[in-house]
Chain A
Amino acid sequence: MNNILEVNNLTMDFGGLRAIDSFGLNIREKEIVALIGPNGAGKTTFFNCITGIYAPTGGEMFIAPPGKKSKKINGLKPNRITKLGMARTFQNIRLFPNMTVLENVMIGRHCRTSSGILGAVLRGRSTIREEKEIVEGSYAILEKFGLVSFANELAKNLPYGEQRRLEIARAMATRPFLLLLDEPAAGLNAQETRELDELITRIRDEEKISILLIEHDMKLVMSISDRIAVMDYGSKIAEGTPDEIRDDPVVIKAYLGEEFVA
């Protein structure tokens, strides 16, 4: 299996503060990887680096869409990286609140379509076809995520759990091969978390894509991940299968303190 994401020695400094310290992570095809660690460990910063929102101070990042050559993504703009096939959600939901649910998903289709200003004004055959494809494709995605009944509601009027789901739906609309989820279970109740568990596994199985998620809900992390990477103070302190991580003294120390290490 090939690595579809390869990060080597990633370093990110904010002034004198080193948020990420030579961090490395590889992700293979059709794999669910969880990135865990105490608050402030640098997990979201890592996401922001690989999606192009921050320019890392050092290190190299490559992505390789399945069946294609790998490409260095250092210094690329976020929209270019999304177009290459890596989509993300945000820790604190960032939907487009005053657009409808359907439009939110339609925005996701933006980078896979091409009609411009002239096309919009003249509305030729190709533009009409493309527009139809966008609407139908977006409806199909809403159906998959069980959001069709909300299609014409404003996103801000959606219940919290549905907003989380819509964010994933919107990211999926960009047709990624790697989906990054930043704390998808934050604020969800036990029932909703179980549903999320099923949803993530289903996405991986049906769409055949890889998923990298940051999560604090250990039950969720342990049940769905193929592999877990643990981060503390900006560097990787452990990596392995859920079982290995559960018993790792270094991880327990980072989370609970010295005295809990058996």
Chain B
Amino acid sequence: MIRLAEMKKSLLVSVWFMFLTFPVMVIRVNPIENVVEWRWWNMLGIGVGSFVLSFLWRLLMKRKEAGRPAEDTKDSFLNRVRMEQKVRLPILYVILAAAMIFPFLFSIYQVNVMTTVLLYVMLGLGLNIVVGLAGLLDLGYVAFYAVGAYSYALLSYHFGLDFWIALPLGALIGALFGILLGFPVLRLKGDYLAIVTLGFGEIIRLVLENWNEFSFGPSGIANIPRPSFFGMDLSLQNATVYIYFIMVGLIIFTIFVVNRLQHSRIGRAWVALREDEIACQAMGIDKTRTKLAAFALGATWAGMAGVIFAAKTTFVNPASFTFLESAMILSIVVLGGMGSITGVICGALILILLPEYLRAFSDFRMLLFGAIMVLMMVFRPQGMISNVRRKYELKGEQN
């Protein structure tokens, strides 16, 4: 019987854990009364706890190896949502309506948190073009985010430029930096590319930190104006809601663009490039241009997100653009499901909301967060929502 063997293994694990934790959890020396306390109950707790956990782990692993045939069936709800317009549209409308009334139902704090989530959705969707579609591992994505944020901060500080002018400008400058970085790294791939982009991200941050005359160093730039509403200045409360709605609008725009790109000639070329670079070239795809396009487009969205970030927090400094941010955005893409728009949105929701709402657990929140990420990658390495290739039907049925 397999179960019995599993139990035996789990039993061994629990014994091992009891032995390991014995000195710390069981023995306590009481120096005042000079006695040794033996806390056998702790030992029992650890034994039972580790046994249950290990057994559960084994069970799940077993199920994972057996595969889950239920998921592949055509009628599963997720698949229907993906495939059938009839099912998908109402759901989209409900989500949109929920997003619209959200700020009127919840507190300003919640709206602020949700705006942050949307900001990361945008960053995730941008990075998704580079990592998910074109398969270029970019660990310095936050550099473009910083470029966008500082573009708005500096343009508004020196020239008093309005948010709405700075937004496309930030996107443009982001794209420019994307191309700038793209050129030297085009010949690299995989690990080497990751290291170079990592270095680029650090360079941007260090320049911002040390070039005092230009970026005001670590003290950053404060009093960046929030977005104006037809020339009017809004109260803090209204401005927060306003930014939330700007963000919702931009997310819809982003999803629209990314969705169209994905199912276009250039989108297919990106995926082909990810799959096999040499075959891709042999099929007549210009590797250089295709990679550059991916880099530039990804950076465009980071630049845009940067402008909004600066407007939202009204303050930028280099500390907001550390490597940890890049890692976070990358986690959103990988955890959510590479190449999948819905996946990235879910990823951002979980990765940003979880630490926020886990604040109740204070000290344990990062531990829990880490544990969830590890479990996620063990049991669903393809991400929460895996990307399904589009099926084309002949006779003009495709839109």
Contact = CB atoms under 8 A, between A and B. Distances in A.
A116 B279 contact: no
Contact of B266 (A83, A117, A139): A117
Interface in B240-289: 257, 260-261, 264-269, 271-272, 275-276, 278-287
B396 interface: yes
Contacts of B281: 53, 77-79, 82
Contact of A110 (B284, B293, B391): B284
Contacts of B3: none
A19 B391 CA distance: 44
A220 to B, nearest CB: 23
Contacts of B297: 117
Contacts of A53: 278, 281-282
A115 B389 contact: no
Nearest to A96: B275
Contacts of A241: none
Secondary structure of the B contact surface, majority rule: helix
Contact of B264 (A77, A112, A115): A115
Given A95-B276, A111-B285, A120-B267, A100 B261 contact: no
Nearest to A112: B284
B398 interface: yes
Interface in A119-159: 119-121, 123, 127, 130-132, 134-136, 139, 151-152, 154
Contacts of B267: 120
B396 A96 contact: no
Interface stretch (A1-9, A86-94, A196-204, A223-231): A86-94
B389 A98 contact: yes
Given A100-B389, A103-B389, A121-B261, A174 B279 contact: no
A110 B265 contact: yes
Given A79-B287, A120-B261, A121-B257, A135 B394 contact: yes
Contact of A139 (B268, B282, B394): B394
Contacts of B278: 53, 78, 90, 94
Contacts of B261: 117, 120-121
A55 interface: no
Contact of A97 (B257, B265, B275, B398): B275
Interface string A58-96: 000000000000000000011100110001101000111
A166 to B, nearest CB: 12
Contact of B282 (A88, A112, A127, A135): A88
B392 interface: yes
A42 interface: no
A107 B398 CA distance: 18
A53 B278 CA distance: 8
A135 B297 CA distance: 26
A109 to B, nearest CB: 8
Interface residues of B, number: 32
Most chain B CB neighbours (cut-off 10 Å) among A97, A108, A120, A134: A120
Given A82-B282, A117-B266, A170-B283, A99 B392 contact: no
B307 to A, nearest CB: 20
Secondary structure of the A contact surface, majority rule: helix
A195 to B, nearest CB: 23
Contacts of B272: 96, 99, 107, 110
A79 B285 contact: yes
Contacts of A121: 257, 260-261
A131 B265 CA distance: 8
Given A79-B287, A170-B283, A110 B392 contact: no
A132 B261 CA distance: 16
A181 to B, nearest CB: 13
Contact of A111 (B283, B396, B398): B283
Nearest to A132: B396
A103 B278 CA distance: 17
A152 B392 contact: yes
B284 A117 contact: no
A120 B271 CA distance: 15
A120 B283 contact: no
Given A103-B389, A123-B260, A130 B283 contact: no
Contacts of B264: 115, 119-120, 123, 127, 131
Nearest to A98: B275
A135 B392 contact: yes
Contacts of B389: 98-100, 103, 152, 154
Contacts of B276: 94-97
Contacts of A115: 264-266
A78 B268 CA distance: 19
Nearest to B257: A121
A113 interface: yes
A53 B394 CA distance: 35
A112 B283 CA distance: 10
Contacts of A134: 265
A108 B392 contact: no
A88 B264 CA distance: 24
B266 A120 contact: yes
A152 B394 CA distance: 11
Interface string A37-54: 000000000000001010
Nearest to B281: A78
A79 B287 CA distance: 8
Most chain A CB neighbours (cut-off 10 Å) among B271, B280, B283, B390: B283
Contacts of A88: 282
A10 interface: no
The 8 closest A-B pairs by CB, nearest first: A111-B284, A120-B264, A82-B284, A96-B275, A94-B279, A78-B281, A152-B391, A107-B272
Interface of A: 51, 53, 77-79, 82-83, 87-88, 90, 94-100, 102-103, 106-108, 110-113, 115-117, 119-121, 123, 127, 130-132, 134-136, 139, 151-152, 154, 170-171, 174
8 contacts: A79-B283, A82-B284, A87-B283, A96-B271, A120-B264, A130-B265, A135-B394, A152-B391
